[in-house]
Amino acid sequence: MGIEIERKFLIIGDAWRTAVTRSIRMAQAYLGGDRCSTRVRIEGESAKLNIKSLSTGIERLEFEYDIPVADANVLMAELAGKRVEKIRHLVALDDVLFEIDEFLSDNQGLIVAEVELESAEAAYPKPAWLGREVSLERRYLNLALAEQAFAMWPDREAILMELQSC
Amino acid sequence: MGIEIERKFLIIGDAWRTAVTRSIRMAQAYLGGDRCSTRVRIEGESAKLNIKSLSTGIERLEFEYDIPVADANVLMAELAGKRVEKIRHLVALDDVLFEIDEFLSDNQGLIVAEVELESAEAAYPKPAWLGREVSLERRYLNLALAEQAFAMWPDREAILMELQSC
């Protein structure tokens, strides 16, 4: 159990790719929940069950447990909603880890960075490729992207322009 | 992961108590879910997260994972719905295990037995204290008892009479 303090940003251009140290393919889907989101995720060769409080803010209560990949496959196929697929790229800058999610499938084109912080006010590096903060926009939650994919956003074209603007 | 094949019965009288080999105090609550119920349970000194397909039938898809008791306490306090409290008594008859749930708190008075079987048609012992089968009545699901406790059932008195009728 922990408190997750996370800020989320759009990513501009491709310059960040040279700084990537590791990339992991991920597929995830949600089981629903009244006051929390329950997520099943396959990441590389392992799988996890994750429970997070439902709030769009920067701080969220979080629980995570390893589960067998075989279980994750059945949970996703039989009991979960739509899948979100992405490649998570890791970029470390000044001891701060950026998790850059390059979405695939129905969310292709969308690239966002998440940075986990000690406190909501903690300083973090601001490389040129770090774009607008979207921490408080619900539609950027992976849970929301499972329900309403980027392909269906009315302002998708404008956002794609913004992502290529450097 | 497994398929749970379970039948559920009302329990009549007190004669079953002499056959109990073990009793465990349990508290459980639910996180919600679209096509499944996600349950947090503290049983004795351990805790489990359980995911079951939402169907009132005899067969249900089931997943279960151990979690720290400290996590279970926070999940129940912060993210789950109302709690169901009970004492689970174990009674073994002819190699078949009956789990007899004696509910407490808002569900006090209700006592039901669950028997897990190899198949929906498998034979099982029928001791005199085994009452009417309620496998297909949704309101006897623990999930349903969390939402609408036995104390609120309009026919509660009639059921209590039935349970004492031997």
Q: Residue A1 and residue B33: Cβ atoms within 8 Å?
A: no
**What average pLDDT score do residues B94-121 get?**
93
- Nearest chain A residue to B76 by CA: give it: A35
Residues 6+ apart with CB under 8 A from B66: B46, B47, B48
Secondary structure class of A7 (helix, strand, coil): strand
Q: Residue B61 and residue A74: Cβ atoms within 8 Å?
A: yes
Answer yes or no: is the ipTM higher than 0.90: no
Secondary structure class of A69 (helix, strand, coil): helix
Confidence tier at B121 by pLDDT (50, 70, 90): confident
Question: What global pTM score does this model have?
Answer: 0.84
**Which pLDDT score, from 0 to 100, does residue A5 have?**
84
Average pLDDT of chain A, as a whole number: 92
- pLDDT tens, residue by residue, A6-48: 899 999 999 999 999 999 999 999 999 989 999 999 999 999 9
| E strand residue ranges, chain B | 2-11, 22-30, 36-43, 46-53, 59-67, 84-93, 96-103, 111-116, 130-133
Ordered domains of chain A (ranges, CATH): 2-163 (2.40.320.10)
pLDDT at B143 over 60: yes
**Which pLDDT score, from 0 to 100, does residue B154 have?**
97
Q: How far is CA A8 from CA A60, A116, A124, A159, B8, in A?
A: 13, 9, 12, 15, 48
**Which pLDDT score, from 0 to 100, does residue A4 have?**
74
* H/E stretch holding A45: none
| Cβ pairs bridging A and B (under 8 Å) | 73
- The partner residues of B37 in beta bridges, in order of sequence, read B52
Contact list in A for residue B33 (CB cut-off 8 A) is 31-33, 38, 79
Interface test mutation site (partner B, options A3, A4, A30, A34, max chain B beta carbons within 10 A): A34
**Which pLDDT score, from 0 to 100, does residue A113 have?**
97
Q: Of A1, A26, A46, give the one whose Cα is nearest residue A87.
A: A26
Q: Residue A70 and residue B36: Cβ atoms within 8 Å?
A: no
Contact list in B for residue A51 (CB cut-off 8 A) is 31, 75, 79
- pLDDT tens, residue by residue, B41-60: 999 999 999 999 987 666 77
**Which pLDDT score, from 0 to 100, does residue B57 have?**
65
Confidence tier at A164 by pLDDT (50, 70, 90): confident
Q: Which residues of B touch A (CB under 8 A)?
A: 1, 31-36, 38, 49, 51, 53, 61, 63, 65, 67-68, 70-71, 74-75, 78-81
